[in-house]
Structure formats: C-alpha cells, structure tokens
Amino acid sequence: MIKKFLQKVFKNISYSIFKIVYGKITKSIQSDKDDRIIKEKVKFSNDLYYSVYLVKHSRLYTDRIQDTAILIDNKIVDGASFQLRKNNANSNVMENIVFSKGTPRILKKLKGRVLSLLTGGGGNSNYWHWLYDVLPRLKICEKIFNLNSIDYFLVPDIKLSFQKETLGILNISKEKILTSEKYRHLKANEIITTAHPYMFTNDPHSDAQKIPNWIMIWLKEKFLKENIKKDLKFSKRIYIDRSDSKSNVAHLRTVKNEQEIRKFLSVNGFDIIKLSDLSFSDQVILFNNAEIIVGLHGSGFANIAFCNPQTKVIEFRNSSSGPIIENIAKKINLNYKSIIIEVKNVKFGIQQGHIHIPIKKLENLIRL
C-alpha cells in the first residue's frame, strides 16, 4: 500500500514538473482554424473517404495504449489526434489524456516530415492489428504524398520479427523508422496522420466486422511477390496451432478437446503449424498454397488475405466473438465454414472462452 501510494505521489509530481516545462493543454483546435493544419480527403470509392492531416511545426505525444495527441501551441488538433475508450473507437478529443496528464516525457526534436502509423496498444505487438490497423495507413497516405518524401515513419514498435520484415518488404529503411517506445513525445517540422483504416464510427466491435475490401487487396499486392520462395514442405491442409498465443497461455481462449482435434486432423493429412515459428514471408506463402485452413479464432487468420479464391477456411469460435473472419473471407471469395459454440459467462472479453468442438461436425465440414 505504501509503495503504491509513493508511486502515485511521484507520478503526480513528475506530471506537474512536465506541465511547467512544456505547458498545460487546455484547448482543442479544428483543422480549418489554423493555416498550419492541412486536411485532405482521400477517395477510395464513391462512399469511402479518409482524412489525412499534415500539421506544421507541431508536437506529438502518445501513451502507446489509448491516446495520441497532435499539438500546436499547446492546443490539441481535433481529428488528427485520437483517444480510444472501451466502447468508443474515437471518443471526444477533450477526453485525450494530455488534458489530465500533460506530455510527461522528454521532448525529442526532429527536422523534417514524420508520418505517424500509431493506432493504439493493439499495434504494439498484435499480428492482426499490425497488418490491418498499422500498415494500411501507408496506402492512405500515399494517395497524397510520395512516401519517399517522408523523413521518418513513427511505428508502434519493431521488436517482433514480422514488424521488421514487413517494413523491409515495403522498402522502408531502418534509418527512417522511429518507435513510439523511444519517441513518445516529439516535435517536427511536419507531422502527418491518417484516419483509421476501418474504424469509421464510435462502435469498434461493429466496425471491426466491416473491414474494407481494399485492405486485403493491398496486403496481397504488397506481400505476395514472385520472389518469395514457394517450395515450402507443408501440407495443403493446415491446422493453426495457438499453443503459444497469449490468450492460450493465460487460459482465456482454448479448445477443450485440443488433443482429440489434433489427432483427427493429423490422420486426415493436416499439418499442425505454429505460425510464430515461421517468418512472415513463409506465412504468406503457406496460406497462399493452402487448400483447407482450420483453427480457433485468432490473429493467425489475418493471413487469409493471402489465400487463393475458394480456399476452404474453417473457424472455431464462440457465439459472441463476431463474424470478422467470416466477413473478410466472403469479401475475398473464400469458402468459409464455422463451428460456433455458445459460451456462457464469458470473462475477460467477448473473444474469450473455452469451447468443445464436435469431431463429427468438423469431419462433415472438411468433406463438404
């Protein structure tokens, strides 16, 4: 108790000191109220537009989890900033953390143009959010700006191999990459931000079920290249092994009869594959070569963007996790099937829970 109390006191003192050094944030500013803020609308289709903001002589502060603020003269720029809340994809700008805590990190000054690809805590380490939330912002940005004109790319992190590999394939040099872990508070000549690739309303669960088709098309165009090796020795029948996933290790989302499922699938020509053992490029080719993919709901299914049309996808999920995989599969013409099990009293989030998969039902879906 004493330790926690002292930590809280220390934090409050540090927040106060940083507010004295960098000033207190008390107001917001609209993009059309200052010549230093340039807002462009990017058209992807007749009913799909994205906002792109270029803010001159500005600061960026992020807590790396929920909030990122773009600041001019200690005013937060509405639209260019975001603040995520539990049931709100982008709540009111006045709820941004900078109003209560200021910008409590040492300011790092940069010369040139910074493109922020920050997207909240999910982008720090989650494979799905990296592919669908972080990287597509590059496509949105390059509708207006030549990416060669970007001096620095601010990304959530590059600790994981898939993060480094994807940025390398996209020809973003290491010298231009900044991470929000090291650059939580920065100032630059120009900071560019984009709207979220698929969070269009303030209902994140609903928006996640409606990921636009252009994202899957872009991922396939960028990462399924002729020069990626295609001689992998895997079966065309794949079962996604999630034994290393955080939700599995924490015993939050599992298949109760996992060993029975593995034995049945192995007998029927499936390879049991732990995707984290593969490079990103190998995952791309694995899914592109596959004929049937089976697995429990999770980020590994992000790779179905690389599948060929009519690839059969069989997803195990609880009844409350939502049809996000199904919707993506149908948009790119995959043969989607599912085994949906009702889970009562789900704790720790709607995607979690422990389900038992009927072998006979799985057998019927495989043979359809």
**pLDDT tens for the chain, residues 1 to 368:** 777 766 777 888 888 899 899 999 999 999 888 999 999 999 999 999 999 999 999 999 999 999 999 999 999 999 999 998 766 667 899 999 999 999 999 999 999 999 999 998 888 999 999 999 999 999 999 999 999 999 999 999 999 999 999 999 999 999 999 999 999 999 999 999 999 999 988 777 788 888 999 999 999 999 997 556 666 778 899 999 998 876 665 567 889 999 999 999 999 999 999 999 999 999 999 999 999 999 999 999 999 999 999 999 999 998 888 899 999 999 999 999 999 988 776 655 556 778 899 999 999 999 87
Domains of the chain: 19-205 (no CATH), 224-367 (3.40.50)
Give the H or E element holding residue 272.
strand 271-273
**293 and 274 Cβ atoms separated by less than 8 Å:** no
Find the largest Cα–Cα distance for the chain: 68
Dihedral angle computed from the Cα positions of residues 147, 148, 152 and 156, in that order, rounded to the nearest 10 degrees? 40
The pTM (predicted TM-score) of the whole model is: 0.93
- Dig out the tokens for 132 from the structure: 């669908």
What is the per-residue pLDDT across 268-287, written as a single tens digit (0 to 9) for each? 999 999 999 999 999 999 99
Nearest to 192 by CA among 142, 131, 263: 142
| Main-chain dihedrals φ then ψ at residue 353, nearest 5 degrees | 125, 160
